[in-house]
Amino acid sequence: MVVQRSFSSLAAFGAALLLAARGEARADEGMWTFDAPPIDRIAAATGARLDAAWLDAARASAVRLTNGCSGGIVSGQGLVMTNAHCVADCVQTLSGGGEDAYLTDARDREERCAGLQAEALLTITDVTDQVRASVQGKDGEAYVRAREGALALAELAACGQDRTLRCQAVSFFRGGQYKVYKYRRYNDVRLVFAPEAAVAAFGGDPDNFNFPRFAFDVAFLRLYVDEAPAATPVFLPWRSTPPAEGEASFVVGNPGSTERQLTVAQLETQRDLVQPLAQAQRLELRGRLLQFRADDPDRARGAAQALAWVENGVKIGRGRMALLNDRAFMAGKRAEEDALKARVAADPALAATAGVAWDRIADAQDAARDLYPAYRQLENGPGGSDLFYDARLLVRAALERDKPDAERLPEYGDARLPRIERRLLDAPPRDLALERIYLEHWLLKTREALGVDDPRVKALLGGDSPENLARALAETRLVDPAFRAELWAGGRAAVEASDDPLVAFVLRIDGMARAARAAYEAKVSGPVDAAAEAIAGARLALLGDQIYPDATFTLRLSYGRVAGWRERGRAVEPFTTFAGFYARASGAPPFVAPPRWLEARKALAPDTPFDFVTTNDIVGGNSGSPVLDRRGRVMGAIFDGNSHAIGGAYGYDATANRAVALTTAAIGEALSKVYGRAGLADELMGR
């Protein structure tokens, strides 16, 4: 799930090197922005010339969920299709530990998902020039602060204080462009339908990032405004007929993050430092969560989602490292970089702005080796621990709000505070037993990464052992929303006076965390960002509309087609069927068909296409993205990538990278025949 892609076989690679050396996007590659859709390129590849109406409807119907997923509006009454794994937390909260298929049909039982918001893109505005002006002549930490300040101002200028809107300033092409994305914001998002976890995540970790696949990973939400379903006159028409092999497919969604424009020196840092450190920690955390679950069946349900995310991360980490350690892949990246360097060197104007940029970035990698571990451990904090981040937000917001806007940490500017407040006051419940695991794991790994004799580690632990300290921190009262609200309202005085163990701890280590961040910004991210901006400028000048920006969890358009691929000389068909699902359902977890599916077996047409694959270029964040046909009808929901697509943060190869989706045909069948949700099916089909 949450899809990541990668280059695949070495054989396929050789052929792609020539295009790579030119630095242009290859066949079916690309996550294109809606203000620069590659119409001609799409027409040449798919035969479909997308018009303004198609693009406007797709944009207006696409939603971004604030939990990192995508979705599509599929009725005039605010109905949104997304993945079941995108709403698992909400299902768990609302179903209260009991029945895990959220099967309510009556409109008045659609209940709110705490903390979840949906955002639909309205406009895109270029603010590159004003950001450029603000950073002129600055470098290091000052550069970073000036840029962040300018972006915050641009957001405020575009949205003002309108709480039905959200404005977000985004860097594209690693600083080559800055744009403000303005969204219609929906703060009230309710759960309409989610299937049983067993069928949503059928095949579990073993099948994740694999295909053939048999997961019913879909859920429906509804946008509400003023306690009533939102009117959404523009929506995606539902297609009940299955996709056909070879037909054009378009994915509209929010790929989260790619690093395809990193320099070779940066990729080497990823390979030698960043990814190994993260992966070692993830693997150990995975073991902890597996054991936590095994030791107590009552915990199984609460731990399952936490474990699923970590296991997903493990697969992504493995895929990324495999790609970074692939000599052919790195040779391709080197060839691409050398070609761009040569073109820059041949152009006096570009050479003046970007000529030394690669060396600057390489120099900063030496600093990264020294500074990254402390930055990661102290400033990023414990992965998974929502309560630590709640405490961090409370502490920092309290300290920063006392300062003039321009002197604050950029993420605590006035324009950003409402979002922080909402996160703190509108949070879903937290599981203290899991929080304690995350905290203990983080303390142990911080000691390991920095060394037991590092003064920061000594200060962090304050003479205690990681185990004891984590136990004490997990006594925090931050699980109580009222307590969070009180601290938020009380500001600096309340935070500084608090005897809550976690709040006091975060306050105590805050200076150390800020110092690690400041050092990293001064010596690594500041210099790198400035140099990357120069390279991006050169790339844009030389390659113009042949390139797309790295993913930034903003709305993108991907084109492709429904197609299998060849695996070790054998063809992998693009579709699975209901029949295949029942054949795989051995009854041993994670291959369990829920009772409803067993009962409905005879009613379902066995040959109905269930899951399918396309060549669309997608990554994590695209989960829940609608798959559209050339007429703009929705024919599937993205929920994963195949194994070749895992390392796709760094590249794409159309011969083997595949997006994995669920057909709307199967969704319609199952809603009617497995779940008896005729009303919902009627709404989808416009009946």
Residues that bind its own copies (CB under 8 A): 203, 205-207, 210, 272, 279-280, 283-292, 294-296, 318, 325, 437, 440-441, 444, 447-448, 451-452, 461, 463-465, 467-468, 586-590
Rounded to whole angstroms, how far apart are CA atoms 300 and 307?
10
Q: Is 463 exposed, middle or buried (0-12, 13-18, 19+ CB in 10 A)?
A: exposed
* Residue nearer to its own copies on the CB measure, 248 or 316: 316
- Minimum Å gap between C-beta 468 and its own copies is 7
Q: How far apart are CA 683 and CA 685, in angstroms?
A: 6
Phi, psi of 651 (to 5 degrees): 180, 175
Identify which of residues 85 and 282 has a Cβ nearer to its own copies in the complex. Answer: 282
Q: Residue 9 Cβ, how far from its own copies at the closest point, in Å?
A: 13
Distance from C-alpha of 656 to C-alpha of 617, rounded to nearest angstrom: 11
Closer CB to its own copies, residue 11 or residue 294?
294
Give min distance, CB of 313 to its own copies, in A.
Answer: 13
CB of 581 to its own copies, least distance (A): 15
Q: How far is 659 from 558, CA to CA, in rounded Å? A: 11
Residues 6+ apart with CB under 8 A from 626: 61, 62, 71, 72, 74, 81, 236, 251, 252, 253, 634, 636, 637, 638
Tokens of 370: 């020294």
Q: What 8-state DSSP symbol labels residue 405?
A: G
Question: How far apart (Å, rounded) are the C-alpha atoms in residues 257 and 172?
Answer: 11
CB of 357 to its own copies, least distance (A): 25
Burial class of residue 493, CB neighbours in 10 A (0-12, 13-18, 19+) = exposed
Residue keyed to tokens 């396929």:
12
Question: Could you tell me if 222 and 192 are in contact, meaning their C-beta atoms sit under 8 angstroms apart?
Answer: yes
To its own copies, the closest distance from the beta carbon of 589 in angstroms equals 5
Q: Contact, 81 vs 634, CB < 8 A?
A: yes
CA–CA gap between residue 121 and residue 234 (Å, rounded): 13
Whole-number minimum distance, CB 280 to its own copies, in Å?
Answer: 6
Question: Which residue lies nearer to its own copies by CB, 164 or 325?
Answer: 325
Task: Report the nearest approach of its own copies to the CB of residue 587 (Å).
Answer: 8
Measured from the CB atom, is 452 or 482 closer to its own copies?
A: 452
Of residues 125 and 279, the one with the C-beta less far from its own copies: 279
Report the residue number, 278 or 531, with the smaller CB distance to its own copies. 278
In the complex, what is the shortest distance from the CB of residue 374 to its own copies, in angstroms, rounded to a whole number? 16
The residues near 534 (Cβ < 8 Å, ≥ 6 apart) are 353, 354, 357
| Residue among 348 and 463 whose Cβ is closer to its own copies | 463
Nearer to its own copies, 294 or 349 (CB): 294
Q: What are phi and psi of 113, to 5 degrees?
A: -90, 110
